[in-house]
Amino acid sequence: MKSMHAIDMETVEMTLDIMKYAINRISNTSPELGKPKQEHELLELVGDTVTKEGIGGEKAFQLFRDILVKASVPVDHPRHLAFVPAAPTRAAVLFDLVTSAASIHGAYWMTGGGGIFCENRAMEWLVSLTGMPDETFGVFTSGGTAANLSAIVTAREYWRSLNDDNKKLKGLIITSSGAHSSVKAMAQVIDADIITVEDSEEYKLTKECLESEIKGLSDFDRKRLFAVVATGGTTNAGIIDDLEGIAEVTEREKLWFHVDAAYGGAALAAPSVRHLFNGIEKADSVTIDPHKWMFSPYDCGAIIYKNMELAKNAHSQKGAYLDIFKDKGAQGFNPSDYQIQLTRRLRGLPLWFSLSMHGTDRYTTAIERGLELANNAAKQIKQLPHVELIREPGLSCVLFSRIGWTAEDYREWTYKNHDSGFALVTPTKWTLEEGEITCARFCFINPDTTEKDIKEILESMK
Ligand SMILES: Cc1ncc(COP(=O)(O)O)c(C=O)c1O
């Protein structure tokens, strides 16, 4: 039996096929919006793909290219405005190929030094956007969930190191109901409790409501409270908590201050909204996801810490076979010491290459474009009789309703647009004085989305 690591004609042909596909896909400005299909339908279409003898590279690739990829949604489709879409730069996607081809283990400097060097340059830029103190630094993670988990584990371990009583207590975190589901899920992972609090006008976590919540805690709960998680751009509506006010409270109360800016953090690079983040420079940790609005391919998150030593105390793994990495001869920055993962891809490399190629100014321009599209959508909505703006855009998120529609109407409209390959725009919920309503939501990331795309999507609601 021939070795599957050998370079033979089949490998050469497969390489050419894959490179051809990659070039076509990377240069395609309007990829087909894949239609959803049930798993059993896909199985009927492609049959068994993993067999004892293998089906051959040509066949497997043909099934992927002609059938399976078409049952997936390209995140960079210009009319994909649902959830938090993405729009990796072509440079970043190409360098994702290079990252794979280079086969570098990115956990420790000893094996990943050159690649980690590049990641660190990109990280310096991210850190500079926050305005945090000089010693601040961070690492790239698999995404916002892993970044938030890494931060709250660091916060919890720091709190427990302060006195022995804390070691016996179940931790408590205050956040807002607008915080991303990953904050609640990760609190569950570390077995901490969560309290959500926000003001009733703007649904922000503010200084006043945080102070009053802390004041109202029992002595026991006050002892358990170790962190406040603010959001720098809620996923649903782009709302930024009162970071300045929260920083004052957390400093006075000696609480860890984490800002989850996984989605919104990119807007730190946009001068038109930078002031909304004032106070972030006082955070103990910040999450920013380059795979959202910083045009990196999946998956790439980042966690930034004011005090890297605290992260190292919480995360550095020890094991006989790992000792060599801490040796003098291998010394350098070890990303695995600062977040939850040991073996890691050099996931910051595509961002570094794209930043190096294009420069940071072009990032600013592309991020400002998302804000411009949100403002344009709001303007168009205000001018049309059949739709209504629910609130002014929060960063690049726009919430609006179609007058007279029920939740079912929004669902049908979403599926109709998706099935026809026109657009992916999904409904969400929002709470008004009269109660919770279903509405439509745009989230703009892709700078190639046009004003005409917005117009046509709004027309599809007529
Ligand atoms: C504010 C916020 N935090 C965290 C996350 C989770 O990030 P990820 O999906 O990269 O794990 C998201 C994802 O949308 C988010 O918007």
Q: Is residue 85 part of a domain?
A: no
Q: Are residues 338 and 376 in the same domain?
A: no
Which pLDDT band, with edges at 50, 70 and 90, does 82 fall under? very high
The reply to whether 81 falls in a domain is no
Proportion of the chain in helix, strand, coil states, percent, rounded to 5 = 50, 15, 35
The CA distance from 289 to 18, in Å, is: 28
Write the pLDDT tens digit of every residue in 119-169.
999 999 999 999 999 999 999 999 999 999 999 999 999 999 999 999 999
Asked whether the beta carbons of 423 and 33 are under 8 A apart, the reply is yes
Are 350 and 93 contacting, i.e. CB atoms less than 8 angstroms apart? yes
Q: Are residues 350 and 388 in the same domain?
A: no
- DSSP letter (8 states) at residue 335: G
Q: Are residues 143 and 171 in the same domain?
A: yes
- The residue among 316, 336, 358 that closes a domain is 358
DSSP 271-311: TTTGGGGTTGGG-SEEEE-HHHHT-PPSS-EEEEES-HHHH
The CB of 85 under 6 Å from ligand 1? The reply is: no
Residue 262, domain extent: 96-358
59 and 107 both lie in a single domain: no
Total domains in the fold of the chain: 3
Q: Is residue 340 part of a domain?
A: yes
The reply to whether 406 and 320 lie within a common domain is: no
Look at residue 255 and tell me if it is in a domain: yes
The answer on 186 and 283 residing in a single domain is yes
State residue 202's pLDDT score.
83
Ligand 1 within 6 A of 236 CB?
no
* pLDDT band for position 328 (cuts 50, 70, 90): low
Whether 186 and 64 map to the same domain: the answer is no
Give 180 Cα–ligand 1 centroid separation in angstroms. 6
pLDDT digits (tens, 9 = 90+) for 147-159: 999 999 999 999 9
| Ligand 1 pocket check for 242: Cβ under 6 Å | no
**Domain check: are 226 and 344 in the same one?**
yes
* Average pLDDT of span 172-197: 97
pLDDT at 329: 62
**41 CA distance to ligand 1 centroid (A)?**
31
**Is the distance from the beta carbon of residue 243 to the nearest atom of ligand 1 less than 6 Å?**
no
pLDDT confidence of residue 100: 97
Do 302 and 178 lie in one domain? The reply is: yes
How many residues are present in the chain? 462
145 and 285 co-located in one domain:
yes
Ligand 1 proximity of 301 Cβ (cutoff 6 Å): yes
User: In angstroms, what CA-CA distances link 400 with 285, 427, 428?
Assistant: 33, 10, 10
Q: Is residue 144 lining ligand 1, measured as CB closer than 6 Å?
A: yes
User: Measured in angstroms, how far is the CA atom of residue 341 from the centroid of ligand 1?
Assistant: 17
Query: Using CB atoms within 10 A of its CB, is residue 323 exposed (0-12), middle (13-18) or buried (19+)?
Result: exposed
What digits encode the pLDDT tens for the residues 261-295? 999 999 999 999 999 999 999 999 999 999 999 99
| CATH number for position 342 | 3.40.640.10
Same domain, 436 and 451: yes
Are residue 335 and residue 426 in the same domain, yes or no? no
pLDDT band, residue 36 (cuts 50/70/90): confident
Please give the distance, rounded to the nearest whole angstrom, from the Cα atom of residue 196 to the centre of ligand 1. 18
CATH of the domain at 388: 3.90.1150.170
pLDDT for 425 beyond 90: yes
Q: Give the chain's mean pLDDT.
A: 96
Contact, 232 vs 178, CB < 8 A? no
